[in-house]
Chains A and B, each alone.
Chain A
Amino acid sequence: MGGAADILELMKEIRGRRIKVLVAKLGLDGHDRGAKVVARALKDAGMEVIYTGIRQSPEQVVETAIQEDVDIIGVSILSGAHIPLMERLISLLKEKGIDDIPVFLGGTIPIPDIPKLEKIGVDKVFLPGTPLYDIIKYTVEAVKKKRSRRN
């Protein structure tokens, strides 16, 4: 598990603009503890984090990602509606030509749904109890990959 020094080391690998993350609460559930804890941890790691607030539609999330030109999108869903919502989100990203932005998902997700979500195009699914360091590390690596593809 990673302490502050490990995080600093990770962040050094990022050149250019600070990592910009969109943390979004998709759907109608108001359980924002996880989203806020993750947002805060990413900020403390030195990233710029946009938080959408609760009850967002896929359209709102995608438009926000466009206007803010984020590197990565983290979605939190605890309502059980993750399959239809993520389907819609990813297809909108494709429509707008920005599906190179990696999307990760956290929440109450049944294990059998994980391969389905990956097939839809979700880059990574985090289950409850994931250490924050793992999420930070994943974010840095996913953004590094994405940026090298873009350049």
Chain B
Amino acid sequence: MSKGDSIKEVLDKASKGDKAALGRLLTIIETSPKKASMVVSEILHEEGGAHVIGITGIPGSGKSTLISRLISHYKDRGLKIAVIAIDPTSPLSQGALLGDRIRMQEHATSPNVFIRSVPTRGVKGGLSFSGVTMIEVFDKLGYDKIIVESIGVGQTDIDIMNVAHTIVVVTTPGLGDDIQALKAGIMEIGDIYVLNKSDKPEANKTYAYLDFALDLGELGGVDKRGWRPRLLKTSAIMGEGIQELADSIKEHLEYIKASNKYMEKIQTRRMLMIKLLAEKIFLEKLEDLAEKGDKIRLEKNNSLYQACINLIKKVSRELERE
């Protein structure tokens, strides 16, 4: 790839399977909101052929190893797989250490696999605009499975619920002895719950608790969503239970395709993309103004609410002037 290619040329090369071009395209999305929106207008198509799978769970639950196993499974079936691995950005230095790849490196050289690490960036620690937009890119380029690995805490999990068709929540035995403790460790957003490291002695007990919680509808029930969340046991390190997991993911895909939820999810995802970009543009401009020495003040006789409206207006004016 030569360096001065236009966005269209880069996209063209990427769709012909040039991984370096794809890597560069993802960087464009990360770097400039304007260029990113140019990319998006080139690629957005209505159907959305890819199946987006969100995988979340507490640190140490073995998510990455599990994903690595899933990649092998899909790869063997001739599918193209993209992984978006999300890691937190340090709020202090704005730097990030992205290490989720470590457990997937055996796939680094597979032609049908593309793994990209994405730092959360920004203060609120959720899924970034670039993360969401990368889904659209992989979708356009014909990736069959797009796996979004989340850091398993807070905002990212809520965002993942909005972008993934199927959500897999990974947990592990021995978090605690009762449902309350378990619930503290996992989000109630799963379509599929995976008890990983099920070779541990206390696994059966944890499994029974989770099963009970599912029956009670405490982890999302049949009524609410027309899908009774599945509960599975795996041992990612030994490769056990992966077939069953892939089967459940497939079943869930069939379920959402049969209802209208599949397209609904794509709509939500694209709405989130707009919202996140709007936020990004706004915040960047705000920082820009601050850097230029613009002070935000609360004037006398002015309500806080009014001050905010004025600020929004000011930023909007600045943005329009560009």
Residues of A within 8 A of B (CB): 16-18, 39-40, 42-53, 56-57, 59-60, 63-64, 66-69, 96-98, 100, 149-151
Contacts and interface: CB of A to CB of B under 8 A. Distances in A.
Please classify how large the interface on chain B is, using the bins under 10, 10 to 19, 20 to 34, 35 or more: 20 to 34
A49 B89 CA distance: 10
Given A53-B102, A67-B114, A150-B3, A39 B97 contact: yes
A63 B114 CA distance: 9
A52 B104 CA distance: 9
Interface in B89-140: 89-90, 93-99, 101-103, 105, 108-109, 114-117, 119
B1 A97 contact: yes
Contacts of A97: 1, 20
Scoring A53, A63, A96 by chain B CB atoms within 10 A of each residue's CB, the highest score goes to A63
A15 B97 CA distance: 20
Contact of B105 (A45, A52, A66): A52
Contacts of B96: 43, 48-49
B90 A43 contact: yes
17 contacts: A18-B95, A39-B97, A42-B95, A43-B93, A44-B90, A48-B119, A49-B97, A51-B99, A52-B101, A52-B102, A63-B19, A63-B109, A67-B108, A69-B26, A149-B3, A150-B3, A151-B3
B30 interface: yes
Contact of A67 (B23, B90, B119): B23
B97 A40 contact: yes
Interface in B73-103: 89-90, 93-99, 101-103
A51 B102 contact: yes
The 10 residue pairs across chains A and B that have the minimum distance between CB atoms: A53-B102, A69-B23, A43-B95, A60-B108, A150-B3, A17-B31, A69-B27, A46-B95, A63-B108, A46-B93
